[in-house]
Amino acid sequence: MTKVTKKLTCIECPKGCRLAVDVDNGKVVKVAGNECPKGEKYAISEIENPARILTSAVLSQGLALKMIPVRTDNPIPKSRIFEAMAEIKKIRVKKSLKTSDIIVENFMGLGVDLIATRKAK
Amino acid sequence: MIKKDLVIVGGGPGGMAASVSAYESGIKDILLLERDQYLGGILNQCVHTGFGLEHFKEVLTGPEYAERFIARLQDMPGIDVSLKSLAVKLTRDKTVTFLKPGVLQTVKAGAIIMATGCREKTREMVHIPGTRPSGVFSAGLAQKLINIEGLLPGKEVVVVGSGDIGLIMARRFTLEGAKVKAVIEIQDKPSGLLRNIAQCVEDFNIPMYFRHKISRIHGRDRVEKVSVVKVGDDLNEIPGSLFEIKCDTVLMSVGLIQENELIDASGIQIQGNNTDVPGIFVCGNALKIYDIVDWVTKDSFAAGKLAAEYIK
Amino acid sequence: MKTYDVVIIGAGVIGTSIARELSRYRLNIALLEKEEEPAFGVSKSNSGIIHPGTQNPPDSLKGRLCVQGNILIRKISKELGVDFQEAGELIVGFSEEDTKELLRLKKDAEALGVPGLKIVDKAWLRENEPNLNSEAVSALYAPTAGIISPYRLVYGLAENAMRNGVEIYTETKVEGIIRAGDNFEISVSKGSFNARRVINAAGLFADDISGMLGIRDFKIRPRKGEEFILDKKKENLANHLIFPLPSKISKGVLIIKTADGNPMIGPTAEDTEDKSDLATSDKGLENVLKSARRLVPSINDKDIIAYFAGLRPAAGDDFIIRHEEKSPGFINVAGIQSPGLTASPAIALLARDILKDTGLALRKKLIFHPHCKKSIHIFSMALSKTKGLIAKDASYGDIVCRCEMISAGEVRDSIKRGARTMDGIKFRTRAQGGRCHGSFCTTRIMKILAEERKIPLTGITKRGKGSEIVKKDRVDD
């Protein structure tokens, strides 16, 4: 396979740098257009192993907030996002929790935790 | 009538930052009025990430960003946080009248900071013709329904405008299992952040139509479809370009406007963070619509300092 | 099965006016409405103008009933606790030619008995209507014109009719009427009703109902009107209702003061075949703005906060109010276009008289309750009174709709008094009707409605079945 240049928009900060990424055989060989090192890191991840932090909300039972906002503490593979949403919909939180409390450890075996992003009593 | 050195109207990111800043500048007698039962304002429904990179140097969700400030306020005993308290009147002699369940109260303030935020433009403001069925939502209302109330407004969605909330909601609806059929933008480029085009629209292969507009909403009881037309650079319809998209939901994301009704009603003129009344200040989105919350925080810190200097 | 003395079809302003009038008598009355709430048909898009009786042909039925209605509505609105404001109207002329036409209108109106009319000149207009186009040379001033909330009037009438024994069946669409001896058998979406007399007040669908009994000598031809509502900030745009000189088909585009404070401009007048065509258009907006600016040039399209379209149920030029000899006991009250709202109390009296002439015995009840409790609107009260009320019931201090300053208590009251849908709450209280169009208050109102009606949030509708606000609750996943 030969070298190709892919265009990406960096999502690491509100600037949204337009990246030109040279890819050779599925591997990133050069990143241009990034204004900071995060851009390069993002480009490599996006080409070689695209992943996103998933944010959503889960149902509570008997707490003052009906929905508890959650996120994965680290990015999960993009390809698993809808599967993760199906899991999130099954969850019912019954106990009070604080922000950053783990709701599901090693979520879907992905090595990330699903954590609360708001406290709820 | 009660007295306070400083009254801050609005407990969203602006009002919270202004309170912290004024407190740290030496004002220890502050009343913070928040109409909801929680502090945080619109941040509470913004469960997505993208907040705090400038201010906290890390990536947070809306509720996490809010909670950092809520925690700081709790450590500031001179700040009296009054929840479920809606300001209903502001006067030039620096009084604020507010309503909380059971009480209508007027407070005489040494200084006042108005941090009342903004609201979304509506379908009516951009004159979209057609019927008036159920299923037309502002993006922010849809966000509240999904993230706070756990209710899904619709299953086949067309987003009007490419503001950030609309883009974020295109992703949110998709994750919830709805089909987002199009984002329609009358300009030739997005009005929201590029990263939101990437991670909310492109990630899910949602079609984006620039230089297009909705020419009509159809449906008697519930939205059934929309008519879409292409427009030229003069924003006028190009004849023959009409097509229809079947959908049950239209999300409006056509911009925000300052929520300054109390200031307007009192006849007070806004001049940057100041007003024509010395001691009455404005900050955050009530002053100017900011792209990101970090700038609201920054602006409100400045207003808090100004108020503290004025009081001293 | 129960046989009603009278079944009235259609709970708009006409059906509810007749129902309330007949509730003074010892009669079993049922009022049938196909929508989920009264006033959801033609009445919901009424401008709310109480006309003085100008602009009607002197020998017309509608002219006579309008003048009579203008007097009657004052007492009725007071009894029902609905605000009526005598704003006065100006029909504006721009030339000597126009002034002559105004004099002719004045003569016609005086023949109908419209009181207090006078022709006013440029100086009067400048003083009393400063935003009026300075090119206006004269106007016909009718002091008895007024404004009222059309829905609150209908809700007051319906509530009071119920209080006096009328049974109201909503979501009850009439599907067929047959004669059963001297009586009628009316089949509806769910079941049937037997009646000695039937009064057809079905608005846009009055011809369909009449056709069920073989009477097809009139046709309802809907005439669409688009109206545009301006921000409350413009409340003082005009001091009177302002009309241009009328054309053959309509009274033209007006500057309308409303009971809610927001001025309105419109309506357009466009014949349509489609009885469900409630769409507004770019063209309508353009026409209305152009015509309205001819009267008040300072009107800005940026001040438009809402718009809607309504259909006038026209059947020729005049009202059709008559007993049908071909089907004894069946009374048509059809073609009630403008000035139907104004005429409604007089139409109710006429319907009563016609009913009497059919031989139905009308004996007054010993006790008739004419009054409805006036709804609480905390921000239209004196502040001291507001304070007391809030102290007594905290829910009146819990503001749900902050654009219009409507409390949870007011929303709850409206539900207790009959609101079943989000639009029903909006029409009664104004909540969701302000500049944010419900962006901030929809979820609160949905929750109050679900709680009061004991239904799930997914069952909450904008205006009845099929208009549910949300599709799914996460709880049901």
How do B208-210 and B179-185 pair as beta strands? Answer: parallel
Q: Does this chain's domain B2-117+259-311 share its CATH topology with B120-252?
A: yes
Instruction: Give strand pairing partners of C31.
Output: C8, C168
A20 and A71 assigned to the same domain:
no
Q: Does any domain span residue A121?
A: no
Q: Does B211 touch chain A (CB under 8 A)?
A: no
Distances (CA, A) of C418 to C39, C77, C86, C174, C428: 12, 18, 28, 22, 10
What confidence tier does A115 reach under pLDDT thresholds 50, 70, 90? very high
A65 and A105 assigned to the same domain:
yes
Instruction: Give the nearest chain C residue to B97 (CA atoms).
Output: C383
Q: Which residues from B are below 8 Å from A56, CB to CB?
A: 47, 175
- Segments in chain C below pLDDT 70: 249
Of A14, A69, A81, the CB nearest to B63: A69
Domain carrying residue A94: 55-116
Are the CB atoms for C4 and C185 separated by under 8 Å?
A: no
pLDDT higher than 90, residue B142: yes
How many angstroms separate the CA atoms of C429 and C410, rounded?
Answer: 7
Q: Between chains, do A117 and B193 touch, taking CB under 8 Å as contact?
A: no
Neighbouring residues of B284: CB distance < 8 A, sequence distance ≥ 6: B10, B12, B13, B14, B15, B17, B18, B115, B117, B290, B296, B299, B300, B303
Instruction: Give the nearest chain C residue to A58 (CA atoms).
Output: C474
Listed by number, the residues of chain C in 437-476 with a beta carbon closer than 8 Å to a beta carbon of chain B are 437-440, 442-443, 457-458, 461-475
CATH 3.30.9.10: which residues of chain C? 86-146+221-314
CATH 1.10.10: which residues of chain C? 378-469
Q: What is the CATH number of the domain that holds A99?
A: 3.10.530.10
Of B86, B101, B151, the CB nearest to C457: B151
How many folded domains does chain A comprise? 2
Residue with tokens 């079809």: C9
Instruction: Give the nearest chain A residue to B200 (CA atoms).
Output: A11
CATH 3.50.50.60: which residues of chain C? 1-85+147-220+316-374
Instruction: Give the nearest chain A residue to C477 (CA atoms).
Output: A89
Q: Which residues from C are below 8 Å from A89, CB to CB?
A: 474, 477
CB burial of residue C73 (10 Å; 0-12, 13-18, 19+): buried
C378-469 folds as Arc Repressor Mutant, subunit A (1.10.10)
A109 and A62 assigned to the same domain:
yes
Longest Cα–Cα distance of chain C, Å, equals 72
Q: Does C476 touch chain A (CB under 8 A)?
A: no
Q: Does C182 touch chain A (CB under 8 A)?
A: no
Q: Between chains, do C475 and A59 touch, taking CB under 8 Å as contact?
A: yes
How many angstroms separate the CA atoms of B60 and B54, rounded?
Answer: 11
Of C282, C439, C466, the CB nearest to B222: C466
Which one from C51, C240, C323, C377 is the annotated catalytic residue?
Answer: C51
Among B128-137, B243-252, C430-439, the range scoring the smallest mean pLDDT is C430-439
Min Cα–Cα distance to chain A from C455, Å: 18
Q: Which residues from B are below 8 Å from A69, CB to CB?
A: 47, 61-63, 147
Listed by number, the residues of chain A in 22-51 with a beta carbon closer than 8 Å to a beta carbon of chain C are none
Q: Between chains, do B152 and C474 touch, taking CB under 8 Å as contact?
A: yes
A42 and A71 assigned to the same domain:
no
Q: Which of C37, C311, C402 to mutate to test the interface with B (most CBs of B within 10 A)?
A: C402
Chains with 3 or more CB pairs under 8 A to chain B:
A, C
How many angstroms separate the CA atoms of C291 and C268, rounded?
Answer: 10
How many angstroms separate the CA atoms of B117 and B114, rounded?
Answer: 9
Q: Which of A34, A47, A52, A67 to mutate to test the interface with B (most CBs of B within 10 A)?
A: A67
How many angstroms separate the CA atoms of C43 and C363, rounded?
Answer: 30
Give the amino acid at C195: A
Residue with tokens 């088909």: C249
Q: Which residues from C are below 8 Å from B35, CB to CB?
A: 399, 402
Q: Between chains, do B102 and C386 touch, taking CB under 8 Å as contact?
A: no
Are the CB atoms for C421 and C435 separated by under 8 Å?
A: no
| Chain-centroid distance, C-alpha C436 | 24
Instruction: Give the nearest chain B residue to C437 (CA atoms).
Output: B122
pLDDT on residue A1? 57
A76 and A96 assigned to the same domain:
yes
pLDDT higher than 80, residue A93: yes
A68 and A110 assigned to the same domain:
yes
A108 and A66 assigned to the same domain:
yes
Strands (E), C60-171: 84-85, 89-93, 118-121, 138-142, 146-148, 167-169
Of C383, C395, C436, the CB nearest to B119: C436
Q: Which residues from B are below 8 Å from C438, CB to CB?
A: 141
Q: Between chains, do A89 and C475 touch, taking CB under 8 Å as contact?
A: no
Q: Does B71 touch chain A (CB under 8 A)?
A: no
Of B61, B146, B195, the CB nearest to A11: B195
Q: Between chains, do B153 and C468 touch, taking CB under 8 Å as contact?
A: no
Residue (of C402, C420, C357, C293) closest to C37 by Cα position: C420
Q: Does C477 touch chain A (CB under 8 A)?
A: yes
Name which CATH class applies to B120-252: alpha beta
A67 and A44 assigned to the same domain:
no
> Angle C408-416/C422-429 helices, nearest 10 degrees?
110
Neighbouring C-beta atoms of residue C374, cutoff 10 Å? 12
Q: Between chains, do B47 and A14 touch, taking CB under 8 Å as contact?
A: no
A9 and A44 assigned to the same domain:
yes
| Chain-centroid distance, C-alpha C71 | 17
Q: Which of A7, A56, A93, A118 to mutate to test the interface with B (most CBs of B within 10 A)?
A: A118
B2-117+259-311 folds as FAD/NAD(P)-binding domain (3.50.50)
User: What residues does each domain of chain B span?
Assistant: 2-117+259-311, 120-252
Q: Which residues from C are below 8 Å from A61, CB to CB?
A: none
Q: Between chains, do C469 and B150 touch, taking CB under 8 Å as contact?
A: no
A61 and A41 assigned to the same domain:
no
ipTM passes above 0.85? yes
Residue with tokens 């919350």: B293
Min Cα–Cα distance to chain C from A40, Å: 39
CATH superfamily, region C1-85+147-220+316-374: FAD/NAD(P)-binding domain (3.50.50.60)
Q: Which residues from A are below 8 Å from C474, CB to CB?
A: 59, 67, 89
Q: Between chains, do B146 and A71 touch, taking CB under 8 Å as contact?
A: no
Are the CB atoms for A69 and A57 separated by under 8 Å?
A: yes
3-state secondary structure of C119: strand
Min Cα–Cα distance to chain A from C457, Å: 13
Q: What is the DSSP string of C295-336?
A: H-TT--GGGEEEEEEEEEEE-SSS-EEEE-TTSTTEEEEE--
Residue (of A98, A99, A102) closest to A72 by Cα position: A102
Distances (CA, A) of B169 to B139, B245, B246: 7, 19, 19
How do B249-252 and B156-160 pair as beta strands? Answer: parallel
Radius of gyration of chain B (CA): 21
Q: Does C475 touch chain A (CB under 8 A)?
A: yes
Min Cα–Cα distance to chain C from B98, Å: 10
pLDDT higher than 70, residue A117: yes
Neighbouring residues of A113: CB distance < 8 A, sequence distance ≥ 6: A72, A73, A102, A103, A104, A105, A106, A107
Are the CB atoms for B160 and B178 separated by under 8 Å?
A: no
Choosing among 3.40.50.300, 3.30.479.10, 3.30.9.10, 3.30.390.30, the CATH entry for C86-146+221-314 is 3.30.9.10
Q: Between chains, do B63 and A117 touch, taking CB under 8 Å as contact?
A: yes
C51 is catalytic: yes
Specify the pTM: 0.95
